[in-house]
Amino acid sequence: MPDAECWVFGQQQGRLLISSDGGDTWASPSSLGHCCGYASTLAVSPQYPQDRTLWAGLPGLGLWASYDGGRSWRPIHTGLPSMGMQQIQLSPSFALGQTAFVRSVHSADLCRTMDGGAHWQSLQLDSLRLLDLSKEFAYDRTLMGLSWEYSSDPQAPPNELLLSTDGGQHWSHAGELGASRTAALLSLAPLFTRWQVLFVHGDNGWPYRSENGGAHWVPVLYTGSPESDPFHSSPRLVYGPEIAGQRTLFLLVTQTEYTSESPVQRGQLYRSPDGGQSWQEMPPPDGIVPSALAISPAFEQDGLLFLGSADGRVVAWASR
């Protein structure tokens, strides 16, 4: 709940915090000090050390960008169909191509910019619920989305995976999920166009792996019955570097238990040493209930994971 005179309905938001000392201290940008200075989604430029670019969706106020590490912000939502943002995806080569995608609250419409937000084009994919870009988007122009309509009718049309290989201009059918109607995670593995490996985390508690671009799926791990999450955080999958032909993956799944008077958040960490084919649970550090996960850019040398905790801490953890 915002602590100022700001009322936004039908969206989740939190105060935007920025650290400039490796996570030791955090502060809200003073330039977002107005009453609705809360973010529903945030994207950090892949080239942040060079371009210092951040994009944030502010509920009721649209899409905003900072080019100085959060010190100043300006709106870039002219032409978007909604002032509420669900997801921002910056291209891995954003600093060069200025291509980005935004899913809005309004009908989950997907919009694309190719000039850093100066102009927007609707891609007419109104029921798109999840989106992910190839890690090599700058070269293969590939992205995938998962589309479905919310319905309690068992005869409702199935979900659909949609694939684009031209930066979102044209889309084709790539497959369906099958056992799970909806999902909270869609992730294309590195070198997707070569190996055709991708993952989803279904609403039935199973992560699925496909090695043929989504045509067929194999369940790889049961993470428990899905529960409502008060932080509305989706499962988080991160990829380590490829070493000796194998790639290490890490998965975080958060759940909430209501067996006591107060809800209790649980965070489960899993590790795969073989590209997601098999998984082992990883006990987190003592006293940490993980609720967010990121991997060090120098993981091959330092082996560090960064864990956000349910009580508001950020912890650097040597995972090996």
Domain boundaries, the chain: 229-320
Q: Specify the pLDDT at position 213.
A: 95
Confidence of residue 255 (pLDDT cuts 50, 70, 90): confident
Phi, psi for 48 (deg, rounded to 5) = -55, -40
Confidence of residue 219 (pLDDT cuts 50, 70, 90): very high
Judge if pTM exceeds 0.75.
Answer: yes
Q: What share of the chain is helix, strand, coil (3-state, %, to 5)?
A: 10, 40, 55
Answer whether residue 66 shows pLDDT above 50: yes
231, pLDDT greater than 90 = no
Question: What local confidence, expressed as pLDDT, does residue 275 receive?
Answer: 94
Higher-confidence position of 28 and 144? 144
Which residue in this structure is represented by tokens 């330092």? Answer: 302
Model pLDDT, residue 2: 46
pLDDT of residue 228 exceeding 60, the answer is no
Where residue 106 falls among pLDDT bands split at 50, 70, 90?
low
- Mean of the per-residue pLDDT values of the chain: 84
Please give the pLDDT value at position 1.
44
Q: What is the C-alpha separation between 202 and 146, in angstroms, rounded?
A: 12
pLDDT band, very low/low/confident/very high, at 199 (cuts 50, 70, 90) = very high
Angle (nearest 5°) at CA 92 between 170 and 318: 135
Please give the pLDDT value at position 281.
Answer: 94
